[in-house]
């Protein structure tokens, strides 16, 4: 068993796969940063090894091996700590992740607040998922956590609960990126309730056999593998079951670019670049075709039966 313990309108030059040299600069900078002590884990609260109770079975396994841990923890988006790919690993050590609690409320019979220790006490699984960014790059990451539907069962959503909204921590003294107007803080994301309750949707507490590093969303985040990465809310402090479809942060900032569903779909281009191909990092160029639903179509396509996925992007 293996061990285991996202803009108002941004100029095309800021993030665009066509300017591969820019992403290359970030990759090189991230690699150089790996030589510095203490970046991996990214916080004074050092990552601890945690052991999953089991490796997940019955879920599609990516054909590619897991991406290098150092790359996955130094090249990522977390705008609360800065907009460059290397900023989260450099700045997220400021975030205090203990104590931590998540408030669960809204259209539920048993609202409650749950602490991180309680979350870590759930039976944990290792899930190796492909993780796809809207900027047309992807990684393969071994996550550790448990299905969101198990957390929802504790609060008993009512028949009025049609969507689930997730809110990220907002701590200006610890998150230097909150001084930027790039988004309307705090960061929020949302799923339709059947998406949230799908067995692939993971409440995530670790990766690569350790508790989550701060820069990757410690101490608790969501991973929704068939959607673009910004749908997987990080450092969650609030979960609300609601009746009406929420307007999430990226949709509010630029709805023509970031729709509510945000499913990985090679047939719907981002307004500023194609989604038909992707780079599996550390590759510098788009070298492979993008799979519908990020390769999880057999599991999730039925959620969208009869929907026009170009309109509902």
Q: What residue segments make up the domains of the chain, in order of their start?
A: 20-298
Quote the Cα angle for 229-118-166, to 5°. Answer: 30
In the chain, the percentage of residues whose pLDDT exceeds 70 is: 85
CA end-to-end span of the chain, whole Å? Answer: 38
8 Å CB contact between 141 and 128: yes
In the chain, the percentage of residues whose pLDDT exceeds 90 is: 77
DSSP of 62-73: PSSPPPPHHHHT
Confidence of residue 298 (pLDDT cuts 50, 70, 90): very high
Block residue for tokens 């799923």: 191
Burial of residue 85 (number of CB atoms within 10 Å: 0-12, 13-18, 19+): buried
How many helices (H) and strands (E) would you count in the chain?
8, 13
Residue 136, phi-psi category: left (phi > 0), alpha (psi -120 to 50), beta (remainder): left
Mean pLDDT of 126-139: 95
Topology classification of domain 20-298:
Sulfite Oxidase; Chain A, domain 2 (3.90.420)
* Cα gap 203→80, rounded to integer Å: 20
pLDDT digits (tens, 9 = 90+) for 143-157: 999 999 999 999 999
DSSP of 261-279: S-B--TTS-BTTB--SEEE
């Amino acid at each position: 068993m293996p061990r285991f313990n996202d803009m108002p309108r941004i100029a095309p030059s800021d993030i665009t796969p066509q300017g591969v040299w820019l992403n290359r600069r970030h990759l090189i900078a991230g690699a150089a940063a790996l030589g510095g002590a203490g970046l991996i884990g990214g916080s004074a609260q050092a990552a601890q090894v945690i052991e999953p109770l089991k490796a997940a079975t019955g879920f599609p396994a990516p054909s590619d091996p897991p991406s290098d841990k150092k790359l996955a923890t130094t090249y990522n988006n977390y705008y609360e700590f800065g907009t460059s790919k290397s900023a989260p690993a450099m700045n997220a050590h400021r975030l205090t992740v203990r104590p931590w609690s998540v408030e669960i409320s809204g259209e539920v019979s048993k609202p409650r607040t749950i602490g991180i220790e309680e979350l870590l006490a759930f039976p944990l699984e290792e899930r190796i998922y492909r993780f796809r960014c809207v900027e047309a790059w992807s990684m393969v990451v071994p996550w550790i956590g448990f299905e969101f539907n198990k957390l929802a069962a504790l609060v008993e959503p009512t028949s009025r609960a049609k969507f689930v909204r997730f809110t990220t921590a907002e701590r200006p003294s610890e998150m230097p990126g909150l001084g930027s107007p790039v988004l309307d803080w705090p960061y929020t994301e949302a799923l339709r309730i059947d998406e949230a309750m799908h067995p692939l949707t993971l409440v995530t507490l670790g990766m690569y056999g350790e508790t989550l590093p701060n820069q990757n969303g410690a101490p608790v985040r969501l991973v929704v593998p068939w959607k673009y990465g910004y749908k997987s809310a990080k450092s969650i402090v609030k979960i609300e079951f609601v009746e009406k479809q929420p307007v999430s942060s990226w949709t509010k900032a630029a709805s023509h670019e970031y729709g509510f569903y945000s499913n990985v779909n090679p047939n719907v281009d981002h307004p500023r670049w194609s989604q038909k191909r992707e780079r599996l990092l550390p590759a510098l160029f788009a070298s492979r075709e993008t799979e519908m639903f990020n390769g999880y179509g057999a599991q999730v396509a039925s959620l969208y039966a009869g929907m026009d996925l170009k309109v509902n992007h």
